Amino acid sequence: MRGVRVVMIGGTSNTGKSTVAGAVAGRLGFEHRSTDLLARHPGRPWRTPEWEVPPHVAEHYATLGVDELIDSVLAHYERLWPRIEDLVQAHAAGPGLVLEGSALWPERVATSAVPHTAAVWLTAGEDVVRARIRTAGRYDEATDEERFLMDKFLARSVRYQELMVAAVDRLGLARVDVGKDMSVSEVADAVLAQAS
């Protein structure tokens, strides 16, 4: 990690980016931020005790096909990239940062000229992502409409990961498969090893 001031952790939804980024930041004594805090698109389509799904989010997932959802989110990430690059640049020579988020698209990160950075993408099998989404959304208690939205979000997440992995591998970038039994500490160890 000599000289690295910014560690970026990308990946599709529900691969543990936030949790692992927090662990990595704690080990390095770096700040931890999520690209979701810069601008969210449009959010997860399931309710929690603290949050109801806004009508526009439900409509987004209900009416668009998987390819349209991918096009929409990638366009959002393209618009968001200048803000991400500014944030990375601000930390590259100053206080350390672990930045995580799906918005860290491999091609953008690979062509960035910001020094003192490292990037790793987390991947997980479809079964792992499905289980995590269904647990988060309380799928067994959900209505048919809520399940439909969760299933659409899952399909988008899986397709996003397929495209992301193809880009990561084509560019020779680092990735870590989190598996279903890896602890947060083990994934953080793997991320730090890949980022070194």
4-29 residues labelled b (16+ CB within 10 A) or e (exposed): bbbbbbbbbbbbbbeebbbbbbeebe
Cut 0.85: pTM above it: yes
pLDDT score recorded for residue 101: 96
Q: What is the mean pLDDT of residues 67-90?
A: 95
pLDDT, tens digit, 9 for 90 and up, residues 114-147? 999 999 999 999 999 999 999 999 999 999 999 9
State which amino acid sits at residue 96.
Answer: G
pLDDT band at 1 (very low <50, low <70, confident <90, very high): low
DSSP 16: S
- Contact between 128 and 183 under an 8 Å Cβ cutoff? The reply is no
Provide DSSP, 69-106: HHHHHHHHHHHHHHHHHHHHHHHHTSS-EEEE-TT--H
Is 113 a residue whose pLDDT tops 90? no
pLDDT band at 43 (very low <50, low <70, confident <90, very high): confident
- Contact between 185 and 22 under an 8 Å Cβ cutoff? The reply is no
